[in-house]
Amino acid sequence: MDGGASRVESWAVTDILGARQDDRDESRDERMDRNFVELLQELRVLQTGTQILAGFLMTLPFQARFTELGGEHRILFLVAIVLAFLTTVLLVGPVSVHRALFRQHRKEDLVAVSHVLARLGLLTLGLTMASVITLIFGVVLGSLEGYVAGGIAVVLFAAVWWGLPQWMRRDRDAAAAS
């Protein structure tokens, strides 16, 4: 395995399982329990907003002015609704997996799978929001403005949800190396 792949693998294991050493005096089971509880708290914030957004999008085709949307905006609407559906599936997934694995002593697997579902759910949530912003600006101001607004949304989501944590991780690793 090359150095880059081993770094990714090492990051994934420590990030998912919280295996980095810290000052907590807890067993592996206690750490898994804490990690899962923290993940569920994060998902609670995301689930409600995502479900409200998906529900709102589902009502749009039944509004009188929906028929006035052009083909391009209808396709964008369908992209947004599919992404909202996928986001809901991914962000509610950990609850379903927990129910299926309940009392099977598989907390480590549950934390790992839930972590991946949450990360994918964040990705699809960002894409959902960007497509909704594109649709709204496109209908209100025009298609070009819609695409510009959607592009800005993607850049902002990428900067805050991916870039900032990467910068913080590098900053911490650089400080630890000194």
Residue 86 and residue 117 in contact, taking contact as beta carbons nearer than 8 Å: no
23 DSSP 8-state letter: S
Question: What was the pLDDT predicted at 134?
Answer: 97
> For residue 121, is it within any domain?
yes
> For residue 103, is it within any domain?
yes
Q: Which domain holds residue 66?
A: 28-177
> For residue 18, is it within any domain?
no
Residue 77, CA distances (Å) to 20, 56, 70, 157 in order? 43, 12, 11, 20
pLDDT tens for the 178 residues of the chain, in order: 444 444 444 444 445 554 455 667 888 888 888 888 888 888 888 888 888 888 888 888 888 888 888 999 999 999 999 999 999 999 999 888 888 888 887 888 888 899 999 999 999 999 999 999 999 999 999 999 999 999 999 999 999 999 999 999 888 878 777 7
> For residue 16, is it within any domain?
no
| 5, two tokens | 């792949």
Name residue, tokens 């902002």.
156
Number of domains within the chain: 1
> For residue 73, is it within any domain?
yes
> For residue 15, is it within any domain?
no
> For residue 20, is it within any domain?
no
> For residue 9, is it within any domain?
no
